[in-house]
Amino acid sequence: MDIERNLIRYLGTGAFTPELIASAAGSYVVTESGRRVLDFTSGQMSAILGHSHPDVVATVRDQVGRLDHLFSGMLSRPVLELAERLAASLPDPLEKVQLLTTGAESNEAALRLAKLVTGGHEVVSFAGSWHGMTGAAAGATYSAGRKGYGPVAPGNFAIPTPNAYRPDVVTADGELDWPRQLDLAFAMVDAQSTGNLAACLVEPILSSGGIIEPPPGYLAALQRKCRERGMLLVLDEAQTGLCRTGTWYAFERDGVVPDILTLSKTLGAGLPLAAVVTSAEIEAAAHDRGFLFLTTHTSDPLVAAVGTTVLDVLERDALDVRATELGGRLRDGLHRLAEQHEVIGDVRGRGLLVGLELVVDRVTKEGSDVLGAAVTRRCLELGLHMNVVQLPGMAGVFRIAPPLTASGEEVDEGLAILDQALRDAVKAVL
């Protein structure tokens, strides 16, 4: 079968995985040829409970036979229950919830809220950001997809990503001087702003940007910059939310509470569910101004029921603790590999969201897209799906995110396959 014959190729310069997937269960996907492939990307970084989790399957089977979809102005018990559960899982004053379908949609809604409430329209995001491919979300996305599509809305500003492994503004010791970097960044924002700053939209850990975690204290300082300018801080926890980083929400480590929080991928554990969460004060101000944002599948009961099941499983099985323990095992294994493979330049991340950066020289930190692509191919041949950042100049950075339900043995299996793939790829490429 010619897999590309009738499909629009939508992966930029990337290619489709060459084998068709027939089924999936737990930490594995199974090809049509019967080959089992260990999934270290949790699908599209979403299936935090693994594939075909029995609780999710049971909820879908039950709910789809009773109530699956409604007019967006109609409400159902699953929607109210999920909104209540989400609010209870978050610190005050986050208590108002809207349920949507994708991360891009939740970021669109968040930005519309921020613009309406502040009266501004300008948005600040990291230069390595990925927030979605729809209008305002794409305007705040800088890691890919900006060239060739015409102008984005005016008032979108990028600030440098605080990358400790590749620092741009440094201290006398050569370490990242993030306070100075942040000051310089907002000096540039202020110089370009027309006085209409509305929001700063960032990921607590940049994913497509290369698993870059801002240093402790950074998010609090960023929030102060927002407060000084009357902006709202919007945190996009599409990939970091709901236990993946070892806490229920990644922002908990930094002691900040965003004005608006967006959730998506992990909330549906692989099904299309997203949420935007804000305070009663912001919601009331937006409502008074006639806030309008809905899609065909806003407040759909089927996926809302799944969302509550996801929260049930996370809580019942203490998967925040599991992510911390299993993530430690994964990072320890990667550090052991780094002792054997000179091409491993950096291991980073938190919980079960881990980054692995390959270099051809540890001193110069010169990367290699060719090497990253070769390791990716060899891993797949050996039975491991690894997700490399599909961007020019960054294809040596792997995003490793196994399901939170993975076993220690499966993590060890993945590390063993990666070890062999590195040996084979280095011989073939370098």
Instruction: Write out the catalytic residue numbers.
Output: 130, 203, 236, 239, 265, 399
- Gap between the Cα atoms of 308 and 305, Å rounded: 5
- Gap between the Cα atoms of 384 and 402, Å rounded: 11
DSSP letter string over 168-191?
SSB-TTSSB-HHHHHHHHHHHHHH
Q: Do the beta carbons of residue 55 and residue 276 sit within 8 Å? A: no
Q: Which two tokens stand for residue 347?
A: 């291991």
Peptide bond into 93 cis (omega under 30): yes
Taking Cα atoms as reference points, which of 158, 151, 106 lies closest to residue 132? 106
Going by their DSSP bridges, the two strands 232-236 and 197-202 should be labelled as parallel
Angle at 276 between CA 273 and CA 281, to 5 degrees: 155
- Across 133-231, the runs of DSSP E, i.e. the strands, are 156-159, 197-202
Residue-wise over 394-404: b if at least 16 C-beta within 10 A, else e? bbbbbbbbbbb
SS3 of 376, please?
helix
| Order of all β-strands in the sheet with 197-202 | 94-100, 274-279, 260-263, 232-236, 197-202, 122-126, 156-159
Q: Do the beta carbons of residue 401 and residue 353 sit within 8 Å? A: yes
Q: Do the beta carbons of residue 383 and residue 39 sit within 8 Å? A: no
- CA R_g for the chain: 21
Q: Which residue has the tokens 């925040």?
A: 320
Q: Which two tokens stand for residue 184?
A: 């310089």
Taking Cα atoms as reference points, which of 150, 118, 120, 122 lies closest to residue 136? 122
How far apart, in Å, are the Cα atoms of 287 and each of 93, 130, 239, 291, 293? 17, 28, 29, 5, 11
Going by their DSSP bridges, the two strands 94-100 and 36-39 should be labelled as unpaired
